[in-house]
Amino acid sequence: MSDALDTRPPGPPPAREVDPWRFAGGFIRKALSAGIPDPPSHGPIPWAEVAKPLAESRVALVSTAGLSMQGDPPFDMEYERQNPTRGDGSWRRLAADAGPGDVVANHLHIDTSYIERDLGVALPLESLHALAAEGRIGSVAPSHYSVMGYQGNDSSQLEQQSAPEIAAAMRAEEVDLALLAPV
């Protein structure tokens, strides 16, 4: 875009505000919002600008479906059964070459049968590999990550322990971009 046509004010782009209920619908918004503090109890959500072109970027996926590799410890669904408004706040590492038979979904708050039929609904690795083959992204990261998205009104373990550990693992693998695959 030429400078003559750019009508944006000079300086950094405006702050982005996230509408957490945009796709939830009225019933879910009403049912869940009563248990969520308002305003949020956390600080501002950090935002990082993309540092290099997508075609040069190493990309990782982060799924909220409670996925684990076959043979790895599953997410704690017994805790989820005993505390129906909470989920396991830990995380799991997933291999970049994982296929449907390699991954297990451990989550009581979603219908995991969709994931069993098509892993791509929760972890679109095939699509990510296709983007790399087409040269649209630089490369697929060697590891991807999963958390249990349903944390209810206490996401402290996810925020204070799991997220920093995932970020450190991504830095160690020189990941440039992470794509969230929410379910």
Q: Tell me the per-residue pLDDT of 43-57, one tens digit each, with 9 for 90 and over.
A: 676 677 888 999 999
Give me Rg for the CA atoms of the chain.
Answer: 18
| Spatial CA neighbour of 179 closest among 23, 37, 61, 28 | 61
Number of H helices, E strands in the chain: 6, 7
pTM value is: 0.76
Q: Tell me the per-residue pLDDT of 104-151, one tens digit each, with 9 for 90 and over.
A: 999 888 888 899 999 999 999 999 999 999 999 999 999 999 998 877
Domain parsing of the chain, residue ranges: 53-181
pLDDT surpasses 70 at 7: no
